[in-house]
Amino acid sequence: MTLLTVIMVNAQFAYQTIKTDGFETSEGLPAAFTRTGQAVWSTATAPYTGGFWDLIFASATPKDYTVSATTTTSHSGTQSIKIATGTSNVALRLRTATGSPFSPSIVDWAKFKVTIWAKGTVGTQIFNAITTTATGDWDKYEFVNSYSTGTSESRLMFDLKPGTGTSFDVYLDDVIVEKYNQADPTTIAATSVNETSFTANWNVLAGASSYRLTVQTSVDGTTWTTVVGFPKTITGNSTVSESVTGLTNNTQYRYKIEGFDGAYYSPSSNLTNITTSATTALNGMYIKNLFAKDGKIYLETQANQPIAVYNNVGQQILNIVAKDGINELTLSKKGVYVIKVNQQSQKIIL
């Protein structure tokens, strides 16, 4: 008997490598130097500029650190970049050189994945954005949509935590920059829109194992706030709709989704706008008129109301969205039916 073992591997988002940097001499790493007296981020002039990265630091008072090429240790190749703080605490930022590889600016941070191999003192935290502490050996750090603040920048920026700030050494090597290499997620028109709810819809995103749905509201169409209970995780790649309830009538809403592949979020989708229905003049009377004629049921109601039809044992046999005015309901056989429009129900015999 042959035993067949099947290992299921979840698909993930595709990224394409656009830049690698091993900090070798050929990549423009300068000779060792010492820098003191740098000011805040916004006025900083990079004291180190390599072939692809530059390094700045921020402080209200003069601080010191040293950047150099070193052959003492490396993840691969013959050398790495060494950053050594001096005798005082200093915040460091590694960033890509202006316009390389991003021009004119980074519009969506989640379109890029950066892998950096780093080595630091055991127990220290190397990158502020990642809480993982160093092991004293070379460790891999991955960033997707977890960079420093400043989304108007045309650069990727990573803040390094200097530990105690005294004689703190960090080694960096083998940086890989990858770009999100597949279609962005897309939302489509909402359905079942009524006074207090709607159904958000979107297209399947390849590689996603779940989705993150965000719903926002606005009173003026300019200032938007996130609705309580969102963002909300929707599990399953093929689950592409979600009922959004508890809303306010005659109010503007919009929604977007992001895919999640088990490790990273995709860029955000487009925004789809909705305005919930106004309160009816009949104060909640959704069924304005209901009658049977020539083997069919006719229902008068307002547009975008959810219509559900149930048989005499409670099974739902029809579910549609109403048009404004008279709606014709065709059923397969005669009998007793319950017609439900939004929250109002009425019985009819066909």
- Model pLDDT for residues 113-153, shown as the tens digit of each residue: 889 999 988 888 888 888 888 999 999 999 887 776 555 56
At residue 163, does pLDDT exceed 80? no
User: Which of 150-154, 174-178, 327-331 is the least confident region?
Assistant: 150-154
Model confidence band, residue 282 (pLDDT cutoffs 50, 70, 90): very low
Q: Provide the β-strand partners of residue 57.
A: 92
CATH number of residue 333's parent domain: 2.60.40.10
Same domain, 253 and 314: no
Q: How many CB atoms lie within 10 A of CB 245?
A: 11
Does residue 167 share a domain with residue 24?
A: yes
CA-to-CA dists, residue 73 to 80, 81, 125, 142, 146, angstroms: 7, 9, 19, 21, 27
CA atoms within 13 A on the CB side of 315: 4
| Local structure of residue 195 (DSSP, 8 states) | S
Q: What angle do CA 208, 213, 217 make, to 5 degrees?
A: 160
pLDDT at 37 over 60: no
The amino acid at 248: T
Helix, coil or strand: residue 273: strand
Mean pLDDT within 298-302 = 89
Whether residue 60 sits in one domain with residue 96: yes
Phi-psi region for residue 29, left (φ > 0), alpha (ψ -120 to 50) or beta? beta
Long-range contacts of the stretch 226-230 (C-beta < 8 A, 24+) = 227/253
- What residues make up the domain containing 93? 15-180
Cis-peptide, bond into residue 101, ω within 30° of zero: yes
For the cut 50, the answer to whether the pLDDT of residue 324 exceeds it is yes
Nearest Cα residue to 266 out of 227, 209, 216, 199: 209
Q: What is the pTM of this model?
A: 0.67
Q: Are residues 296 and 265 in the same domain?
A: no
pLDDT bin (cut points 50, 70, 90) of residue 342 is confident
Backbone CA torsion sign across 219, 222, 227, 233: positive
Which pLDDT tens digit goes with each residue over 46-92?
A: 556 666 777 766 655 556 677 778 889 999 998 888 887 766 666 77
Within a domain: residue 280?
Answer: no
Domain end point (choices 131, 147, 180): 180
**Whether residues 173 and 30 fall in one domain:** yes
Any domain includes 2: no
Q: For position 1, what pLDDT does the model report?
A: 39
Residue 179 has pLDDT above 80, yes or no: yes
Domains identified in the chain, total number: 3
